[in-house]
Amino acid sequence: MAALIAENFRFLSLFFKSKDVMIFNGLVALGTVGSEELFSVVAFHCPCSPARNYIYGLAAIGVPALALFLIGVIWNNHTWNLVAECHKRGVKNFSAAATFLLFGSIMGRAAVAPVTWSVISLLRGEAYICALSEFVKPSSLDKFPAEYGAEVLARFPCKDVPANLTKFRDEVTRRLRYESQLFGWLIIGIVAVLVFLTKCLKHCCSPLSYRQEAYWAQYRSNEDKLFRRTAEVHSRILAAKNVKQFFGFVALDKEEKELVQEFPVEGVQTSPQWNAITGVYIYRENKGFPLYSRLHKWAKGVEGNGPSPEAHEMLFLAS
């Protein structure tokens, strides 16, 4: 148990530190696999009762997938940028293609964990067998005793059956496991093709060269890292000043004293400034010069959000 907890904490650490989309999605998938395995061992227990099996089996596959999808939507920065955009400026400045691109990015990232959960559940087959065992037609089983019906078939996943039905239970389990794994492999194949086509379409439609796109990714990562680090220091220094004004002194450690002396904070940013750097950003150019983020756009003094003769929208969303 201690090793399992340590592995989960290690995964969460990597999860939050990762910036690269492929690594991020890979970690999400691996974490989902581990969670599904833990769920199967600890929490999954088929009721082996007619009418209940189907609901429980589908719930075991669908409910965690739905929860993981919603968590993925919540943890996606694009989601809250879109909310801020709609609240402050609306989406009237976005074309249909840009809106579709934004929602596609949010849904695609959020779908990684639920698809992984569903695939692993289908490959294991336990939930599928539990859900559909009672619907196997007795007539499809050679020499199946006529006195037994759906109630006995529903008990097959629990292996709680008369001795003379053991071979039929094995056959039903094998058949349903085959169907379940077949669906799982089909989903893997379909997702792989969709990912390949999406990557091809993205690079074919990108207005940026490969090197500029790589530079933009580096810029976004560095800007976000520096912004968060600077915001943390700025808020700490501002808080220290306000606490000192209230009490007449402030208890700072050595590092904090050095920060206060090195970076004097005179005031705070106004709400219009915060609003200007918050929201959805789609790659634009101004007079031929790239604007890599809302902060970059604000620093250059470019006004407005929509396309204009001097600010051209390229319909390319940050990953």
Q: Identify the residue with better confidence: 3 or 101.
A: 101
Residue 2 inside a domain? The answer is no
- pTM for the model stands at 0.70
Task: Indicate if 74 and 148 belong to the same structural domain.
Answer: yes
Is the confidence at residue 24, as pLDDT, over 70? Answer: no
Residue 233 inside a domain? The answer is yes
Specify the range with the lowest mean pLDDT, choosing from 5-14, 28-37, 152-161: 5-14
Task: Indicate if 200 and 253 belong to the same structural domain.
Answer: no
Task: Indicate if 82 and 198 belong to the same structural domain.
Answer: yes
* Residue range(s) defining the domain that contains residue 222: 210-300
Task: Indicate if 250 and 185 belong to the same structural domain.
Answer: no
Is the confidence at residue 233, as pLDDT, over 80? Answer: yes
Sheet holding 282-286, edge to edge: 289-291, 282-286, 311-317
C-alpha span between 132 and 135 (Å, rounded): 5
Task: Indicate if 59 and 152 belong to the same structural domain.
Answer: yes
Task: Indicate if 155 and 216 belong to the same structural domain.
Answer: no
Residue 144 inside a domain? The answer is yes
Task: Indicate if 100 and 171 belong to the same structural domain.
Answer: yes
Residue 279 inside a domain? The answer is yes
Percent of the chain exceeding pLDDT 90 equals: 28
Where is the domain boundary, 187, 205, 223? 205
β-pair type (311-317, 289-291): unpaired
pLDDT digits (tens, 9 = 90+) for 277-295: 888 787 888 888 899 998 9
Is the confidence at residue 252, as pLDDT, over 50? Answer: yes
With bands split at pLDDT 50, 70 and 90, how would you rate the model's confidence at 36? low
Task: Indicate if 180 and 237 belong to the same structural domain.
Answer: no
Residue 71 inside a domain? The answer is yes
pLDDT digits (tens, 9 = 90+) for 151-193: 888 888 887 777 777 888 888 889 999 999 999 999 999 999 9
pLDDT at 32: 62
Task: Indicate if 221 and 172 belong to the same structural domain.
Answer: no
For the chain, give the number of residues.
319
Where is the domain boundary, 205, 235, 250? 205
Beta bridge partners of 286: 289, 311
Interval 101-118 mean pLDDT: 86
pLDDT at 33: 62
Residue 131 inside a domain? The answer is yes
Task: Indicate if 131 and 155 belong to the same structural domain.
Answer: yes
Task: Indicate if 157 and 78 belong to the same structural domain.
Answer: yes
Where is the domain boundary, 205, 237, 253? 205
Task: Indicate if 196 and 219 belong to the same structural domain.
Answer: no
Give the CA distances from residue 155 to residues 133, 148, 180, in Å, rounded to whole numbers and listed in that order.
Answer: 8, 11, 18
**What is the total count of domains within the chain?**
2
